[in-house]
Amino acid sequence: MSGIRRDRNIKIPKRNDKSQSRTTNYSPSRPAEGRRDIPKKVERKPQQQKSSNRNFRPNQNRRQNNQKKQKPRVKKPTPLDDEIWARVVEHDFKNNVLTLLGESKFLLGRYRPKHTNKVLPLGQRVYVGIDLTKRTEVGDIMGMARLDKMSSGADKDLPIVIQRFIEEHETYFIKSFYNPAGFLSLKQHSYELLHGIGNKKATQMVEQRGSSGFSSFEQLNESCGVDAAELLAIRFQSELKDLTLQPRLTELLLPVKT
């Protein structure tokens, strides 16, 4: 019994009792370290010596080399290059632009006048050929001219310019069109291509022409009651406005052969 009593007097320490400190030999271990990386040596690029010139630019030489390599622009050929003589249709003094009608193909072109203080009159004949020494009034070709972009005044003056050209070559158009003109079909005569000429009028003109033909515009106009040069001028203008109009007298009768 005495042994049991002795066991009761044994004091068992509680878990939360921190009054008694326990000593231990534990110490935290040092973290593991691997092989240290040795930094690589960075080679420094030699610095360029600054030029004493303040306007020096590093890319300047490259730009100069690129400019040397660039090829000069080749001027594209245009139908106007074949023209030698042309007539003034409009002189836009404000924008310094000349609208000319080429004599060989009746092509409308835009040109730069050489004199900015001189206005060229309507219908004046000017040289537009490749010989630059003969170009006293006209400079560079600016491009083709469009009828729908021209002023209303130029549109009205165009048939006048064409009519003057036809009158100057009266003999050619008499021999090339009015005298040899024949039937296009069983029912249509070539005269009917002209403005206001119907089948009845065309038959009358053929009768007046006879076998000898017309000798001049004056004879033709008096015998038939028409203006031959004006009729051709209106037809040419219609073909310039409508490129689908067939047959095309501008292609059949031009250029004028003297």
Residues 6+ apart with CB under 8 A from 230: 159, 163
Nearest to 128 by CA among 152, 157, 99: 99
Residue 46: inside a domain = no
List, as one string, the DSSP characters of 46-89: PPPPPPS-TT--TTHHHHHHHHHHSPPPPPPP-GGGG--EEEEE
| Co-location of 194 and 140 in the same domain | no
Q: Which run of H or E residues covers position 206?
A: helix 199-209
Position 3 scores a pLDDT of 53
State what percent of residues in the chain have pLDDT above 70. 72
| Co-location of 179 and 243 in the same domain | yes
| Co-location of 247 and 173 in the same domain | yes
Domains in the chain, number: 2
239: containing domain: 169-253
Question: Region 227-255: what's the mean pLDDT?
Answer: 97
- Predicted confidence (pLDDT) per residue in 14-70, tens digit: 655 555 555 556 566 665 565 666 677 667 766 666 555 555 565 656 666 556 566
Position 7 scores a pLDDT of 53
Residue 131: inside a domain = yes
Residue 127 has a CB neighbour count (10 Å cut-off) of 16
State the pLDDT confidence band at 240, using cuts at 50, 70 and 90. Answer: very high
Question: Region 2-8: what's the mean pLDDT?
Answer: 53
> Measured in Å, how far apart are the chain's first and last C-alpha atoms?
163
Position 25 scores a pLDDT of 60
| Co-location of 183 and 124 in the same domain | no
Position 177 scores a pLDDT of 98
Q: Name the 3-class secondary structure at 174.
A: helix
- Predicted confidence (pLDDT) per residue in 121-170, tens digit: 999 999 999 999 999 999 999 999 998 888 999 999 999 999 999 999 99
Question: What is the domain-level CATH number for residue 185?
Answer: 1.10.150
Which structure tokens are listed for 190?
């070539």
Question: What is the domain-level CATH number for residue 141?
Answer: 2.40.50.140
CA distance 58 to 62: 8
How many Cα neighbours within 13 Å face the side chain of 44?
Answer: 3
| Co-location of 175 and 102 in the same domain | no
- Predicted confidence (pLDDT) per residue in 158-197, tens digit: 999 999 999 999 999 999 999 999 999 999 999 999 999 9
Q: Taking the model in full, what pTM does it have?
A: 0.71
Residue 61: inside a domain = no
Higher pLDDT, 4 or 141: 141
Give counts: helices (H), strands (E), the chain: 8, 5
Is the previous residue joined to 58 through a cis bond, with omega within 30 degrees of 0? no
| Co-location of 187 and 243 in the same domain | yes
State the pLDDT confidence band at 116, using cuts at 50, 70 and 90. Answer: confident
Domain stops at, among 112, 146, 180:
146
Question: Region 217-238: what's the mean pLDDT?
Answer: 98
Position 11 scores a pLDDT of 60
| Co-location of 181 and 107 in the same domain | no
Residue 195: inside a domain = yes
Position 149 scores a pLDDT of 87
Position 66 scores a pLDDT of 58
